[in-house]
Amino acid sequence: MSLFSRIVLGLAVFLGVAGIVYGVTGHEFIGTPLLLIASACFAYIGLFVRRAVRSAEAAPEEEEPEPHILPTIWPFVFSLAAVGLALGAVVAKWLLVIGAVLFVIAAVGWTLEVGRQWGHGGPSD
């Protein structure tokens, strides 16, 4: 078991015990579920890392070529969509619509571009 997974699982146990103690001794009801949810999240991360490390140790050492994707404009469009969504939620609803449309366009465009590059062995084919 890796050191990181031990630390995270230890933190999960600590937060679980702290949540139970807080639930028994506390006078408000918000902290207990938050501590228990945090405990469950850390337990999930710890178990996932432990499983990933074990499967990596058991897997044969094969060199797989790393896929190369050329730079693209779509992450920038995603950031513009995020700004539109955030401003639309706070300022005006029409910005929310523009942000949602930009988000869909960026998601479809990026997916099609990456699929085209992977599907044909690269952008030059």
- Measuring CA to CA, which residue among 53, 47, 49, 59 is closest to residue 13? 47
d(CA 34, CA 36) in angstroms, rounded, equals: 5
Measured CA to CA, the distance from residue 103 to residue 101 in angstroms comes to 5
Tens of pLDDT, residues 23-60 = 999 888 888 999 999 999 999 999 999 998 888 887 77
Q: How many whole angstroms separate alpha carbon 39 and alpha carbon 23?
A: 14
Name residue, tokens 């058991």: 58
Judge if pTM exceeds 0.75. Answer: no
What pLDDT was estimated at residue 125? 46
Evaluate if residue 122 carries a pLDDT over 50: no
Measure Cα distances from 53 to 35, 59, 106 in Å: 27, 10, 34
Tokens 């405990």 belong to residue: 39
Given this model, what pLDDT does residue 114 score? Answer: 83
Quick: pLDDT tens for 56-94.
887 777 776 776 778 889 999 999 999 998 998 888 888
Q: Which helix (H) or strand (E) holds 22?
A: helix 3-25
Predicted local confidence at residue 120, as pLDDT: 57
